[in-house]
Amino acid sequence: MKLMPRRAGRCAGILAIAAGVAFAAASPASAASPNRADAVRLSGIVDHGPVVESTYPGDSWNDATSISVPSLLTAGPVATVAISTAASATVSGLSLALTTAAALNADSLYSGCAYDVGSGVVSGTAQIGSGQITTPGAPIALATNPAPNTVISIPAVGTLTLNRQREAPDGTLTIDAVAASLFGGLETVTIATSVCNADTLT
């Protein structure tokens, strides 16, 4: 895998989180697992990642000019952020080979989540900019704001889940802009993942 990173200061506005969410720590240190975000994770035939991961507590802001998994995936630039009550991931210029004749292309993919201190609820969203699946037939356009857990089945290829959202028993929310199950389930690729705990981390 090729990865060309560049570190920078926290970028204002990188977290497109709904207004009204408190970002400052408001409770003592928690035993909860870190909030985190990553650009890409692969498991199965090719096993690698997380790529360009940010965690809080930990490295709260990371980015890379480009990422590449030969013959499978290219993207860039990418950026991830994790703070005390929120996390987000943005992947630009994605091309993911689904088969030798089909691919997922998108100008941008984004996921973000946030913990609302007042309500005690974690919420989040995902967005896909100019996304489409190219096949030997007609291309399949992807919704810009897909509903949670929108599944697209591609015969002889696999399935794509857009805006995949999974909530753990403790309220922790995991959002993937896209989760791809390929080659009969032998390869799983998640793109633009954000994870937020139902707690304020310090």
| Portion of the chain with pLDDT greater than 90, in percent | 70
Compute and round to an integer the Cα radius of gyration of the chain: 17
Report pLDDT digits (tens) over 104-150: 999 999 999 999 999 999 999 999 999 999 988 889 999 999 999 99
Cα(first)–Cα(last) distance of the chain, in Å?
33
pLDDT category, 200, cuts 50, 70, 90? Answer: confident
Q: Is 66 exposed, middle or buried (0-12, 13-18, 19+ CB in 10 A)?
A: middle
Average pLDDT, integer, range 99-108: 95
d(CA 76, CA 34): 25
Cis peptide before 70 (omega within 30 of 0): no
- State the residue for tokens 């690729």: 189
Query: In this predicted structure, which of 2-6, 65-69, 129-133 has the lowest mean pLDDT?
Result: 2-6
> What is the model's pLDDT at position 31?
54
155 burial type by CB count under 10 A (0-12 exposed, 13-18 middle, 19+ buried): exposed
What are the C-alpha distances in Å from 93 to residues 34, 65, 77, 90, 113? 28, 11, 7, 10, 22
How much is the pTM? 0.85
Write down the domain spans for the chain.
Answer: 34-196
The answer to whether the CB of 12 falls within 8 A of the CB of 106 is no
What CA–CA distance (Å, rounded) separates 11 from 53?
A: 16
Residue 176 near residue 104, CB atoms below 8 Å: no
Kindly report the backbone phi and psi dihedral angles of residue 55, in degrees, each rounded to the nearest multiple of 5, phi listed first: -135, 155
Query: What is the pLDDT confidence band of residue 186, given thresholds at 50, 70 and 90?
Result: very high
Measured distance CA(133)–CA(184) in Å, rounded = 18
Q: Is the separation of the CB atoms in 74 and 95 below 8 Å?
A: yes
Tens digits of residue pLDDT in 9-47: 333 333 333 333 332 223 333 456 889 999 999 999 989
Q: Could you give the CA distance from residue 192 to residue 17 in angstroms, rounded to a whole number?
A: 15
14 near 29, Cβ under 8 Å?
no
Q: What angle do CA 168, 169, 174 make, to 5 degrees?
A: 15
β-sheet bridge partners, residue 178 = 162, 191
